[in-house]
Amino acid sequence: MQFRSVFDIIGPVMIGPSSSHTAGAARIGLVARQLFETEPEWAAFHLYGSFAKTYEGHGTDVALVGGILGFDTFDDRMTTSFHHADKRGLRYTFIEEKAQPEHPNTVRIRLGKGEDVLELVGISIGGGKVEIKELNGFALRLSGNHPAILVMHDDRYGAIANVATRLAKNEINIGHMEVSRKEQGKEALMVIEVDENIDSETMHDLTMLEHVRRVTKIHD
Amino acid sequence: MFKNAEELVRIAEQRSVPISEIMIEQEMETYDRSREDIYAQMDKNLEVMEQAVERGVTEQVQSVSGLTGGDGKRLHEYLQTHTPLSGELILDAVSKAMATNEVNAAMGTICATPTAGSAGVVPGTLFAVKNRLEPTREGMIRYLFTSGAFGYIIANNASISGAAGGCQAEVGSATGMSAAAIVEMAGGSARQSAQAMAIALKNMLGLVCDPVAGLVEVPCVKRNAFGASNALTAADMALAGIESRIPCDEVIDAMFRIGQTMPSTLRETGEGGLAATPTGRKYQAEIFGK
């Protein structure tokens, strides 16, 4: 079941005109921003399929930039996001890709600040609902509609158990979890969807665990 | 947990509760939230819909492209000064559906039901039927849960995305959802709701998504108009005891398969259908200069 909540259907409250091309795009941008943890200096948006064909008409470009600036789907500042980006010093470009994507509404976002670069692939599956399919080369499946923790860790035995045990101790229930890696024994990514927003104490606890390199979160 | 319309209807019949109740309880269970909490969130969505309708029928809204705006208001005014041929309630729903979609096109605030492009049908019918049936605030909130229940089934078994399934997946879904909710508000049975949904969606099958210049304006606003009038017609038919020969779930499945075989030019790419007409192309050139 891709759609779990009645509010995926009756909702979201949003600035028009398109739930998939405006609200969904804003949500993908927002997830990218949350995972980058800070305001990037530049953003590049590679647009595929229907996104590439109709992004200007649907305000997909405005919404993606709005998301990167941290605006939610119903934020009044959304329509003037380019203006806010200029004021805040965010440089952005849009690239229309010709390749046929698996899903018609696909965007590859690259964000950067200094040495730090984040690359994420998101799809907008309808009604404002999105999925993140790839993060820094790791395949994953993340809705962005629920709070989640992303843990970059060494691909070693015990790493997953350590994280799960710590979450259990802090009384956090795991709703969905998956692990992805590029090569055996190297770097791996744990994606854990949870029911409630994660507090900073838990984030800190997770960071201190053995084999854990970096912890980021997505909140409601 | 219900997976399809037949299961939803059966649970409602077994427990002698309306469909809205099943959806509310499932939401409470899935997310461990209280009834009050869920009601409050839906009430907020209802408020947004109310404001969008109000704005669209009273203000002269206009989209940035200039392609749409003001028709919901125009029809609303026509209703004040003329006796319509088709019926006041139907045209009231139509004007409110168009009004909502025009506010959406003007980058105003709306609530997606199930999408932004199809956001007019559910509130349009709700705020028209409300004047006749005079429901409580709770009754109006339940309307949204009932339409949400059917949208949930369509989204999980087919699609609610124009890019994936054409307009039948958006306005078609919204029309079926509304038809089912009207039946419940009018006192019809759960089974009649599913019948209304089937009848409504059957008559939207094959509808393509061909937005001029890629904008959610032409023909979206007027497709919301006809979604609203189809929903009311289907609801009345179901309340009269008319049944769909093809069961609701099979209609949803047919919609999904039609969407899969639709060429991509007719799935929200702005490359086919009305978008590809000489006038459609002319508008695109004027708006984007290409």
Tens digits of residue pLDDT in A137-190 = 999 988 877 889 999 999 999 999 999 999 999 999 998 899 998 888 888 999
Query: Could you report the per-residue pLDDT of A71-121, keeping only the tens digit for each?
Result: 999 999 999 999 999 999 999 999 999 998 888 899 999 999 999 999 999
Q: What is the pLDDT of residue B269?
A: 87
Residues A185 and A80 in one domain: no
- Which residues form the domain of A180? 148-218
The whole-number average pLDDT for the span B65-94 is 97
How would you classify the pairing of strands A148-154 and A116-126? unpaired
Same domain, A105 and A206: no
On the question of pLDDT at B165 being above 90, the answer is yes
Convert the pLDDT of each residue in B180-222 to its tens digit.
999 999 999 999 999 999 999 999 999 999 999 989 999 999 9
Angle between helix B278-288 and A49-58 (nearest 10)? 70
A123 and A190 belong to one structural domain: no
Provide mean pLDDT across the span B45-66: 95
Q: Which helix (H) or strand (E) holds B255?
A: helix B248-261
- CATH number for position A85: 3.30.1330.90
Residues of B in contact with A3 (CB under 8 A): 152, 155-156
- Cβ–Cβ of A10/B287 closer than 8 Å? no
Helices B121-133 and B173-185: angle between axes, nearest 10 degrees: 20
Identify the three-state secondary structure at position B267.
strand
- A-chain CB neighbours of B264 within 8 Å are 49, 104
Question: By the 8 A CB rule, do B211 and B218 touch?
Answer: yes
User: Which of B65, B105, B163 lies at the smallest CB-CB distance from A50?
Assistant: B163
| Minimal Cβ distance to A79: which of B26, B103, B107 | B107
Q: Is residue A7 part of a domain?
A: no
Q: Residue B157 class from Cβ within 10 Å (0-12 exposed, 13-18 middle, 19+ buried)? A: middle
The distance of A210 to chain B (nearest Cα, Å) reads 32
Residues A25 and A115 in one domain: yes
Cβ contacts of residue B201 below 8 Å, gap of 6+?
B168, B172, B173, B175, B176, B248, B251, B252, B255
Is the pLDDT at B235 greater than 70? The verdict is: yes
A57 is a domain residue: yes
Write the pLDDT tens digit of every residue in A15-30. 989 988 999 999 999 9
- Peptide linkage before B114 cis (omega within 30 of 0): yes
CATH of the domain at A181: 3.30.70.260
- Last residue in a domain, options A108, A142, A176: A142
The C-alpha atoms of residue B113 and residue B123 are separated, in whole angstroms, by 8
In the listed set A84, A113, A142, which residue is the last one of a domain according to the structure? A142
Task: Count the domains in chain A.
Answer: 2
Which residue among B65, B159, B214 places its CB closest to the CB of A54?
B214
Helix B220-239 with B121-133: angle, nearest 10 deg: 40
Q: Do residues A86 and A69 both lie within one domain?
A: yes
pLDDT band at B97 (very low <50, low <70, confident <90, very high): very high
Question: What is the pLDDT, as a whole number, of residue A196?
Answer: 82
A135 and A153 fall within a common domain: no
Average pLDDT rounded to a whole number, residues B232-239: 98
- B22/A contact by beta carbon, under 8 A: no
- The answer to whether B20 faces chain A, any CB pair under 8 Å, is no
Query: Residue B269: its chain A contacts at CB < 8 A?
Result: 49-50, 53-54, 104
Q: How confident is the model at residue A57 (pLDDT cuts 50, 70, 90)?
A: confident
Residue A166 lies in a domain: yes
Q: Is the same domain home to A113 and A212?
A: no
Single out the residue in A118, A142, A166 at which a domain terminates: A142
Q: Grade residue B82 by pLDDT with cuts at 50, 70 and 90.
A: very high
Using an 8 Å Cβ cutoff, are B125 and B231 in contact? yes
Q: What is the pLDDT of residues B14-51, one digit of tens each?
A: 999 999 999 999 999 998 899 999 999 999 999 999 99
pLDDT band at A126 (very low <50, low <70, confident <90, very high): confident
pLDDT digits (tens, 9 = 90+) for B144-161: 999 999 999 999 999 999
Q: What is the CATH number of domain B5-288?
A: 1.10.4100
Determine the distance in angstroms separating the CA of B248 from the nearest CA of chain A, rounded to an integer: 18
Min CA distance, A137 vs chain B (Å)? Answer: 26
Q: What is the pLDDT of residue A144?
A: 74
Q: How many whole angstroms separate alpha carbon B115 and alpha carbon A129?
A: 10
Q: What is the DSSP secondary-structure string of chain A? A: -----GGGTS--EEESS-IIIIIHHHHHHHHHHHHH-S--SEEEEEEEHHHHHHHHHHTHHHHHHHHHTT--TT-GGGGGHHHHHHHHT-EEEEEE--SPPSSSEEEEEEEEETTEEEEEEEEEEETTEEEEEEETTEEEEE-SSS-EEEEEEES-TTHHHHHHHHHHHTT--EEEEEEEESSTTSEEEEEEEESSPPPHHHHHHHHTSTTEEEEEEE--
Q: How confident is the model at residue A219 (pLDDT cuts 50, 70, 90)?
A: confident
Give A13 or B214, the one with higher predicted confidence. Answer: A13
With helix as H, strand as E and coil as C, how does B165-219 read?
HCHHHHHHHHHHHHHHHHHHHCCCCHHHHHHHHHHHHHCCCCCCECCHHHCCCCC
Note whether B272 contacts A: Cβ–Cβ < 8 A: no
Instruction: Please give the full DSSP string across B20-37, using - where no structure is assigned.
Output: HHHHHHHHHHHHT--HHH
In a domain, residue A175? The reply is yes
**Per-state percent for chain B, helix, strand, coil, to nearest 5:** 70, 0, 30
Comparison of pLDDT for B288 and B207, the residue scoring more: B207
Looking at residue B126, its pLDDT comes to 98
Residue B290 has pLDDT above 60, yes or no: no
Average pLDDT, chain B: 96
* Domain boundaries defined on chain B: 5-288
Confidence grade of residue A56 (pLDDT, cut at 50, 70, 90): confident
Question: Has residue A174 been placed in a domain?
Answer: yes
The predicted structure's pLDDT at residue A175: 87
